[in-house]
Structure 1
Amino acid sequence: MKLLVYGLNYAPELTGTGKYTAEMAEALAARGHDVRVVTAPPYYPEWRVADGWSAWRYMREVRGGVRVSRAPLWVPARPSGATRLVHLASFALSSAVPMLRHVRWRPDVVMAIAPTLLCAPAALAVARAAGARAWLHVQDFEVDAAFGLGLLDSARAARIARAIERTVLRRFDVVSSISAKMVARLVLLGVDAPKTFCAPNWVDVDTIRPLERASAYRRELAIADDAKVVLYAGNMGKKQGLEHLARAALLLAARNDICFVFCGEGPTKTALAASVAGLSSCRVIGLQPPERLNELLNVADIHALPQRADAADLVMPSKLTGMMASGRAIVAMAREGTELHETVAPRGVVVEPDDAQAFADVIAALADDAPRRACLGAAAREFAERTLSPGAVLGRLEARLVECCVRDVGDVLDTLDT
């Protein structure tokens, strides 16, 4: 199979969509498929192009057995609703050039990754011109998120954006997303149910696993041996609701036996660091090397997953997979009835979004209850091993991709023979 993947984010970005897109592409290449990628230079979550990369030049490389073409883009120093739109449009325009070059390669499937939907027209055009199937994989409902978080607030713009979203979604041959409720949302937006597919994010449960010793980060961050560590590791943006975890840290400032570690990058990091600057119980650090991810996740006694109420129904946080695989207790903010609530509640503790006091109360209770922490962590680990391993998720994805390429019964028989 010849697969062309088209998305804004890709390795060596360490978090979010780029991480999963790269792992998927490299895994499929390792299984013998010919995979090519059109993407941007790495810039996320720091919102600046990484050292050694250019924001203004086209570049090519081979990474993990995948041929990668990178197109220029503009990255705003202070992302807002308007600047984000220009940012996304700059990549959509510049990336059309390498996308069109792949028409002659004649891929079997063109897979666009959302965000961003601004790239969907080029993906559809290339797929049609090459006689390929068009696949859209939705990591985030960006239109809902933009208006829910107030990045855009015009009612007229909302109607136009949602109309465009519905039109674009219906044009793809397959539309997938990362949770069952997000797939159900696709159907509500007008995608025919047989065209939908659930492809959850995964975690390497052999690489991310419980340690039988104390994490080295305890010593490096000067955390007392008997302190209980509450860890947030991931993007630091608006929808993460990190202000609620910072508030919980303030509410628990008198607890000398609880330490909060905030790890990541993003537009709200400076404000977060300022809000906890006077607390000896808090550590704020940048993104850590990928080879140290397991060490980092194991510094936690409790993983914290805050969320703003206006974003709580929109996404399934990708960071949750690593939390579960590490075998530590999880406290999350989620509404009842959402996929996040249904995933965490049987094997973690869930409170309502935006309720910092409830967040603090649960953290304090878990800090005092080692047996319950161990029980919740073991349940989360079992769930990760059973449902989130790369073999299980990527095997199903590969099968659907191959099925998507099949044109008639003869092709089916040929595929089965091979």
Structure 2
Amino acid sequence: MPQPSSTLVFGLNYPPETTGISPYTGAMSAGLARRGHRIRALVAHPHYPDWEVRSGYGQWSRRENLDGVIVDRMLHFVPRQPAPVPRALSELSFGVRQMVARWGKPSTLLAVSPALLSTALVRARSLLTHRSTPFVIWVQDLYALGLVETGQGGGLTARVLRQVEGWLLRSASMVVVIHDRFADRVHEDFGVPRDRIAVVRNWTHISAMPQVDVPEVRRRFGWSDDETVVLHTGNMGVKQGLHHVVDAGRIAHDRGQKIRFVLVGNGAQRDQLQARIDERPTSTAILPPLGDREFAEVLQAADVLLVNELPGVAEMAVPSKLTSYFASGRPVLAATDATGITAQEVLAADAGITVQAGDPTAILEGATRLAADPEQAERFGRNGRVYRETVLDETFAIDRFDSLLADLTSRTGEKRPS
């Protein structure tokens, strides 16, 4: 009787974290487990986007079984403020924990990047102790490019990280990316052969949204029926450039326009954003992270869903919030680089409009434009749902991972699970 395929997953973020990369790593691992794979994940304690280990966690080591996946959590250094140096130390401390852990004899190794530095340490060990085991890197963000686009890394730091990232990607048995544009960058910038790059799109990680009582939800959150609510969800970090949204709310307040900007979530820039809001009147407010039900409710109760990016951010990432936005049936406003991945995604789905990144007036005018044309807004919402149900399908994505892992293990002489 052939043994089922086994995969050891390395990832910094894992459920119960609800934002960023975590839902995808968790869903992929659980999906493969449902398909008969033996999956074990070496991950950190939940700490993102608050940059604080969640209550109840924080043991040196902790084992859980989540949705059929053996999850081994390891304590590492979590900085209160994830500036570049503390964040690098955080990744290195986590990478050391992963390196010295017991790996066993998995059929495949699958590392999620970021975190780049911990993944590089894992890859170094794999070349020493598991050289014949296929090593897959699942690229969610292009790390060195992200530092350059957000202005956080230049000179020697950027060159070193670029070298590390290039070595890591070229050394992998397979590089899985989440968008065709990523595939182009990995091939052209780092010299990874096309036949070792696979595109597996991220999917909507929340279930189909139930119908909600929109007036009741709006009353609960203090939103009046005659104002336009523009909602931004997720991480509040550097690359989101949310100070421009606060300024857009200030302009709306000064003009007397009934437009409310709401930022839902947490992150390294939250306190700075709150201080900016408190400086002088603005129609921008911050809400804490919400549970799955309330999150689905506010998405559907808002009038416009906002993706906001720092000027210059164009190629480093595909915002994970887009998958949830499309599922909600609400129109999307993307304040982003017109040539970047985010703009391409919104336009490909025909689910909203784009405006220039870093321009508070353009953000406000884009929201006003969507609010002024309910028929167009409804059409954008329908199109987003169709895109989610076709292009961004979870079953297809996990089936693709299943197939990729089976192909890699078959090359090493291992039979597929029966």
Q: Normalized against structure 1, the TM-score is what?
A: 0.92
Could you say if the C-alpha distance between residues 160 and 112 of structure 1 is closer, same or farther in structure 2, counting changes exceeding 3 Å? same
* 2:29 equivalent to 1:30: no
DSSP-derived class of the 1:311 partner: coil
Q: Distance in 2 between matches of 1:68 and 1:144?
A: 31
Question: Offset at 1:272?
Answer: 1.4
Q: Distance in 1 between matches of 2:14 and 2:215?
A: 29
**2:364 aligned partner:** 360
Q: Distance in 1 between matches of 2:205 and 2:342?
A: 20
Question: Offset at 1:80?
Answer: 1.1
**2:166 aligned partner:** 166
Q: Distance in 2 between matches of 1:322 and 1:361?
A: 24
Residues 337-395 of structure 1 show CA distances to partners (whole Å, capped at 9, x for unaligned) of 32222211232101122122211111111122211111111111111111112112222
DSSP-derived class of the 1:406 partner: helix
Q: Distance in 2 between matches of 1:216 and 1:181?
A: 41
Q: Distance in 2 between matches of 1:327 and 1:244?
A: 25
Q: Distance in 1 between matches of 2:282 and 2:215?
A: 20
**2:341 aligned partner:** 339
Q: Distance in 2 between matches of 1:282 and 1:159?
A: 38
Moved beyond 6 Å, runs of 4+:
none
Residues 56-81 of structure 1 show CA distances to partners (whole Å, capped at 9, x for unaligned) of 61211111111111112111112211
Question: Offset at 1:143?
Answer: 1.6
* 2:70 equivalent to 1:71: no
Q: Normalized against structure 2, the TM-score is what?
A: 0.92
Is the CA contact 1:210–1:326 (under 8 Å) kept in the aligned structure 2? no
Q: Distance in 1 between matches of 2:161 and 2:370?
A: 43
Is the CA contact 2:250–2:282 (under 8 Å) kept in the aligned structure 1? no
The residue type equivalent to 2:218 in the other structure is: R
Q: Distance in 1 between matches of 2:252 and 2:357?
A: 18
Is the CA contact 2:338–2:355 (under 8 Å) kept in the aligned structure 1? no
The residue type equivalent to 1:214 in the other structure is: V
Q: Distance in 2 between matches of 1:392 and 1:255?
A: 47
Gapped regions of structure 1 (runs ≥ 5): none
**2:106 aligned partner:** 107
- 1:45 corresponds, among 33, 44, 49, to 49
**2:116 aligned partner:** 117
Could you say if the C-alpha distance between residues 175 and 216 of structure 1 is closer, same or farther in structure 2, counting changes exceeding 3 Å? farther
Is the CA contact 2:120–2:164 (under 8 Å) kept in the aligned structure 1? no
The residue type equivalent to 1:228 in the other structure is: T
Residues 183-213 of structure 1 show CA distances to partners (whole Å, capped at 9, x for unaligned) of 11110211111000111210157x2437363
Residues 109-141 of structure 1 show CA distances to partners (whole Å, capped at 9, x for unaligned) of 100110112123443333763432100011111
DSSP-derived class of the 1:261 partner: strand
Question: Offset at 1:290?
Answer: 2.3
**1:305 aligned partner:** 307
Could you say if the C-alpha distance between residues 354 and 281 of structure 1 is closer, same or farther in structure 2, counting changes exceeding 3 Å? closer
Q: Distance in 2 between matches of 1:209 and 1:164?
A: 41
The residue type equivalent to 2:405 in the other structure is: L
**2:214 aligned partner:** 214
Q: Distance in 1 between matches of 2:81 and 2:25?
A: 25
Report percent identity of matched pairs. Answer: 29
**1:386 aligned partner:** 390
Question: Offset at 1:321?
Answer: 0.4
DSSP-derived class of the 2:137 partner: strand
